[in-house]
Structure 1
């Protein structure tokens, strides 16, 4: 059964740099050998995440790349996709975009902003996943 995990940003280090939380989530999936797709909000965010994955932990190397570059995308454990990239979903999807993820996945990870006023769309997304019969979980990070 598919599941959706909502990660609520609470800790100061994630408040200051929400993409750090994305790196942590991606690292966990990589350590479990799960192919991961990150749906970036835009090309700039995809590049920012690409840079951060190289540097967020000195000892952690997570093979990743941005979709649409010349390399073989099937080889990358973590694929970062800007909205214009047409890529198939993977078992783990980290969603940084505005809408719910459509299609088939094992788990979707949603990052919930610390700012209460920005959480409205995520409440809607929760309801959308719930209506599809997806198992829902909430985590404070």
Structure 2
């Protein structure tokens, strides 16, 4: 059974945090789906991920293409067609407890300056942990990532 990691963004913009997390996830050999709620945000991320320095290239694609199944990172607003082992949610996109159980890791990234996003993340934490999912809460308020809370293992 996987774990859900909640990342409370207060220092790094979403694009920067994603670059780091995606790089580490790809190094672990994971296939990744990034689930957002709006096409506009995914458009912006798609461009940002293609714009990284050449030495940190992040191969990815948008859902709905001819090669979804081959994408190591797939940006989507729904279910992913690349058989991911890691799911990253942004914009408060939904994640089901069954998905946490099926993945190596689920990452929930949320903007710490958006009270609505913080509230959605709190509700997701409650829902997932109540269903028995292991979860960790990471904060970068001190300027570096620190684990601030961990749910007991089910």
Tell me the TM-score normalized by structure 2: 0.78
1:99–1:125: 8 Å Cα contact kept in structure 2?
A: no
Q: How far off its partner does 1:105 sit?
A: 2.1
Paired positions, count: 134
Q: Which structure carries more relative contact order (alpha carbon 8 Å, separation 6+)? A: 1
CA deviations on 1:112-140 (whole Å, 9 max, x unpaired) are 21216231111110001101211111112
Q: After TM superposition, which residue ranges in structure 1, 4 or more long, deviate above 3 angstroms?
A: none
2:89–2:108: 8 Å Cα contact kept in structure 1?
A: yes
- Structure 1: gaps of 5 or more residues: none
Query: Residue 69 of structure 1 aligns with which residue?
Result: 65
Alpha-carbon separation, structure 2, partners of 1:106 and 1:131? 19
1:23–1:52: 8 Å Cα contact kept in structure 2?
A: no
CA deviations on 1:21-48 (whole Å, 9 max, x unpaired) are 1222112111211100000221111111
Query: Residue 51 of structure 2 aligns with which residue?
Result: 55
- What is the RMSD computed on CA atoms of the aligned residues? 1.8
Q: How does 1:1-141 map to 2 (within 5 A)?
A: 1-11=1-11, 14=12, 17-70=13-66, 72-83=67-78, 86-88=79-81, 90-102=84-96, 103=99, 104-115=102-113, 117-118=115-116, 119-141=118-140
- Structure 2: gaps of 5 or more residues: 141-154
